[in-house]
């Protein structure tokens, strides 16, 4: 979903192909988005808003609004799953490299669903909800993920797909201020209040009697919250949030430019089944205990990469000039191909193009000067540390 100021570079269609019967599914807020002037495109098998019209609309304006205030994102295309059973943590550890057994109730952890050779099938979030684990997986891969989990989890473990739930994300420096006005109440006497949640913590809440699963998390690099909400309640929640002056609905285009500035990889672009966690810069998702004990798919191969280093690694690139690099552009060290761009676009916050790429380890040091072959045009670039824009999580 890499993109510059034009949404077609993100893999989104140029035109709103709404004529005739839809080839994609609709989400609970479909009409809600259309009523607000959203440009709807097919993405991950669903009609999704890429940007909104009217005052404050457009990818760059929506991006900057989220950085300065609070943006509401509909990410209901993503898969919401529950995994339960007495040995659920042990079962998940046969498929994920994280220390799931040590994850305390109310805590989230970023993890990876791995193929037998250690390739990344998906990246996901795992929450310990006390009596079960809650997983959020990518929309484009969720059906494959569900099939993989059902095939590989023991019969004693129960996997449920919460297909009637939606997922909203409120992101930005004023998100907490907005939520404080909505009157969310802890769903249990022993549950923390909203102000008690720090980054990567979650708790159940009630809003006007409606149950919400709330986590302080997101994929923009900003402070923010995500809400797992029943489909019948999602429009009321979206209305209440957007009634606040600080909040505007934000589309997929700005979500992509925000995550790119935050240096966060996108599955299907920066991560694929051919990518391993070490090359991707995601070794932090492999806990110390799991590195020592193994027992996850591809453990031997990944252990060798951890010990010896990966031959190519994911890096950030700051581009000279105004032209953005497209996904698939070759990275050149002199006349030799040294890598490939996986995400690229214009950075509204920095005012110039940026990209992420996999490059040979010898060319990965910050400050290294490289060139990109962007459809036959050479672009100058410099390797820079990730993230491009510092994270502002509430810790």
For 107, the enclosing helix (H) or strand (E) is none
- Average pLDDT rounded to a whole number, residues 336-350: 98
With cut-offs at 50, 70 and 90, classify the pLDDT of residue 22: low
Neighbours of 310 (CB within 10 A): 21
In CATH, what number does 7-75+164-261 get?
A: 3.30.1360.120
End-to-end CA distance of the chain: 28
pLDDT tens for 23-60 read 789 999 999 999 999 999 999 999 999 999 877 679 99
CA neighbor of 173 nearest in space, from 258, 81, 289: 258
pLDDT tens for 231-276 read 999 999 999 999 999 999 999 999 999 999 999 999 999 999 999 9
Please give the Cα distance from 292 to 3 (Å, whole number).
39
pLDDT at 116 > cutoff 80: yes
pLDDT tens for 131-148 read 999 999 999 999 999 999
- pLDDT number for residue 21: 46
- pLDDT number for residue 184: 97
Neighbours of 144 (CB within 10 A): 16
| 356: exposed, middle or buried (Cβ count in 10 Å: 0-12, 13-18, 19+) | buried
Residue 307 tokens, joined: 């010990």
The CATH superfamily assigned to 311-395 is Aminomethyltransferase beta-barrel domains (2.40.30.110)
pLDDT tens for 214-225 read 999 999 999 999
- pLDDT number for residue 56: 67
Residue 71 tokens, joined: 């943006």
Q: State whether residue 282 is helix, strand or coil.
A: coil
pLDDT over 70 for what percent of the chain? Answer: 94
- Average pLDDT rounded to a whole number, residues 203-219: 98
Please give the Cα distance from 302 to 291 (Å, whole number).
9
pLDDT tens for 351-386 read 999 999 999 999 999 999 999 999 899 999 999 999
pLDDT at 17 > cutoff 90: no
pLDDT tens for 281-321 read 999 999 999 999 999 999 999 999 999 999 999 999 999 99
Q: Where along the chain do its domains lie?
A: 7-75+164-261, 311-395
Please list, in sequence order, all residues whose beta carbon lies within 8 angstroms of the beta carbon of residue 112, skipping any fewer than 6 positions away: 96, 97, 98, 120, 121, 122, 123, 124, 277, 282, 285
């Amino acid at each position: 979903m890499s993109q510059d100021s034009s949404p077609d570079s993100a893999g989104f269609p140029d035109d709103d192909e709404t004529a005739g019967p839809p080839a994609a599914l609709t989400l609970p807020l479909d009409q809600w988005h259309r009523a607000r002037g959203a440009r709807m495109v097919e993405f991950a098998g669903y009609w999704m808003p890429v940007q909104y019209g009217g005052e404050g609309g457009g990818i760059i304006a929506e991006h900057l609004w989220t950085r300065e205030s609070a943006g509401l994102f509909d990410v209901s295309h993503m898969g919401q799953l529950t995994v339960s059973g007495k040995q659920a943590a042990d079962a998940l550890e046969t498929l994920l490299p994280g220390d799931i057994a040590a994850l305390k109730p109310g805590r989230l952890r970023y993890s990876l669903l791995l193929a037998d050779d250690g390739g990344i099938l998906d990246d996901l979030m795992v929450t310990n909800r006390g009596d079960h684990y809650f997983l959020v997986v990518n929309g484009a891969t969720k059906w494959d993920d569900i099939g993989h989990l059902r095939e590989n989890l023991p019969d004693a473990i129960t996997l449920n797909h919460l297909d009637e739930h939606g997922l909203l994300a409120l992101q930005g420096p004023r998100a907490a201020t907005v939520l404080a006005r909505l009157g969310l109440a802890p769903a249990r006497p022993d549950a923390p209040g909203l102000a008690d949640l720090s980054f990567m913590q979650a708790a159940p809440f009630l809003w006007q009697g409606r149950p919400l699963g709330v986590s302080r998390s997101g994929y923009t690099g900003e402070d923010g919250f995500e809400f797992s909400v029943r489909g019948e309640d999602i429009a009321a929640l979206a209305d209440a949030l957007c009634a606040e002056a600080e909040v505007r609905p934000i589309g997929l285009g700005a979500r992509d430019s925000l995550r790119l500035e935050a240096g966060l990889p996108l599955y299907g672009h920066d991560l694929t089944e051919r990518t391993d966690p070490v090359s991707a810069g995601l070794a932090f998702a492999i806990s110390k205990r799991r590195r020592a004990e193994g027992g996850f798919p591809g453990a031997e191969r990944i252990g060798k990469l951890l010990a010896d280093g990966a031959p190519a690694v994911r890096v950030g690139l700051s581009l000279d000039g105004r032209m953005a690099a497209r996904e698939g552009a070759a990275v050149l060290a002199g006349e030799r191909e040294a890598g490939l761009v996986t995400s690229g676009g214009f950075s509204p916050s920095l005012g110039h193009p940026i990209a992420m790429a996999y490059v040979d380890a010898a060319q990965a040091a910050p400050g290294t000067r490289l060139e990109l072959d962007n459809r036959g045009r050479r672009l100058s670039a410099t390797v820079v540390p990730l993230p491009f824009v510092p994270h502002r999580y509430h810790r």
